[in-house]
């Protein structure tokens, strides 16, 4: 396979759309991961069901014919009739949530500036607090932009396998001093041969957000273990701490954007870290799961498929 063909294959495979390539006999030449996972009846080498091309099953097909190497082929994009409305609703809700999250540090910043005008106030202390508020705003903007980058189709999967353990070790090293200030010890272990087909940058984002979540919320005296292992055809990246934990009823909500459990409402954080983790892992075809309970720590497992 030449470079152009390989590039085209990756573009189709990692498309966020349900897209299928058909030959002139309506046989499936290629299909994106989303098409294979979300649309029943799509198999490479087999004829695409007529119901999908006619829109009988609720999918709305957009057909783009083209010629390649003297052959007549078609790109078929499949979407649900309500997808656009759902997307607009999600976008509107996300914009409102971002606006809400920005108002809090901005309000605190304004209050600090107004306090600084009063006689007898500790200006240096107030400036330090104001700087922390500005840093909080900057962190939120960075994570919102990164999440937007992911949702606009940034490629997560790599063409080669990325060893996991070195990235976990580097993240632990980078956060060692911050962990010490928070009273959280970091450790790393696992299978040095374990690798996943995820871009190194994206894998580092996953590991760092998992570690930062524990450093920020596990509490004084906690220990965080970052590990990787291979089991049952998947590579599992784990972040497990023995800290304050969360209520079991909240576990499923930890990956929602801007969601903060009771343990984190009084701490600084964007509420986007674990949402980003889930987005990256899901885009790579994997799954994320949270386990734990109040007072008994938190474990987050990211399972990546192997090929």
Instruction: With both helix axes pointing from N to C terminus, report the angle between 200-217 and 165-174 in degrees, rounded to the nearest 10.
Output: 40
In sequence order, the 6+-apart residues with CB closer than 8 A to the CB of 161 are 195, 196, 197
Strands of 152-294 (E only): list them. 157-163, 185-190, 195-198, 223-231, 234-241, 287-292
The CA distance from 108 to 78, in Å, is: 47
At 57-97, the pLDDT tens digits run 677 777 888 877 778 888 888 876 555 554 454 455 555 55
Domain limits, CATH 3.30.565.10, in the chain: 157-305
Better pLDDT: 211 or 37? 211
Domain limits, CATH 3.30.450.20, in the chain: 3-80
Q: Determine whether domain 3-80 maps to CATH 3.30.450.20.
A: yes
0.85 cut: is pTM over it? no
The CA distance from 46 to 49, in Å, is: 9
Q: Determine whether domain 157-305 maps to CATH 3.30.565.10.
A: yes
Mean predicted lDDT score pLDDT of the chain? 80
Domain limits, CATH 1.10.287.130, in the chain: 83-151
In this structure, which topology does domain 83-151 adopt according to CATH? Helix Hairpins (1.10.287)
Strands of the chain (E only): list them. 18-22, 28-31, 59-68, 71-80, 157-163, 185-190, 195-198, 223-231, 234-241, 287-292, 298-305
């Amino acid at each position: 396979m030449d470079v152009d063909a390989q590039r085209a294959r990756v573009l189709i495979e990692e498309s966020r759309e349900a897209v299928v390539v058909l030959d002139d006999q309506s046989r499936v030449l290629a299909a994106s991961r989303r098409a294979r996972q979300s649309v029943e009846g799509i198999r490479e080498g087999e004829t695409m069901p007529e119901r999908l091309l006619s829109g009988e099953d609720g999918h709305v097909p957009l057909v783009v014919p083209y010629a390649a190497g003297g052959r007549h082929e078609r790109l078929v994009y499949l979407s649900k009739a309500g997808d656009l409305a759902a997307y607009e609703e999600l976008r509107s809700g996300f914009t409102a949530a971002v606006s809400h999250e920005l108002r809090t540090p901005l309000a605190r910043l304004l209050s600090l500036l107004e306090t600084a005008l009063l006689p007898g106030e500790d200006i240096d202390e107030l400036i330090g607090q104001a700087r922390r508020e500005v840093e909080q705003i900057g962190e939120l903007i960075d994570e919102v932009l990164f999440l937007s980058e992911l949702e606009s189709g940034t490629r997560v999967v790599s063409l080669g396998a990325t060893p996991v353990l070195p990235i976990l070790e580097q993240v632990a090293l980078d956060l060692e001093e911050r962990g010490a200030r928070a009273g959280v010890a970091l450790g790393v272990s696992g299978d040095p041969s374990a690798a996943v087909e995820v871009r190194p940058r994206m894998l580092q984002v996953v590991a760092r957000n998992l570690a930062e979540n524990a450093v920020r919320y596990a509490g004084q005296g906690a220990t965080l273990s970052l590990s990787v292992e291979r089991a049952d055809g998947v590579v599992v990246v784990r972040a497990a701490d023995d800290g304050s934990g969360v209520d079991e009823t909240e576990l499923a909500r930890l990956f929602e954007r801007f969601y903060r459990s009771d343990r984190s409402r009084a701490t600084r954080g964007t509420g986007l870290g674990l949402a980003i983790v889930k987005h990256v892992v899901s885009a790579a075809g994997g799954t994320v799961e949270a386990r734990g309970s109040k007072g008994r720590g938190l474990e987050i497992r990211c399972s990546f498929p192997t090929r």
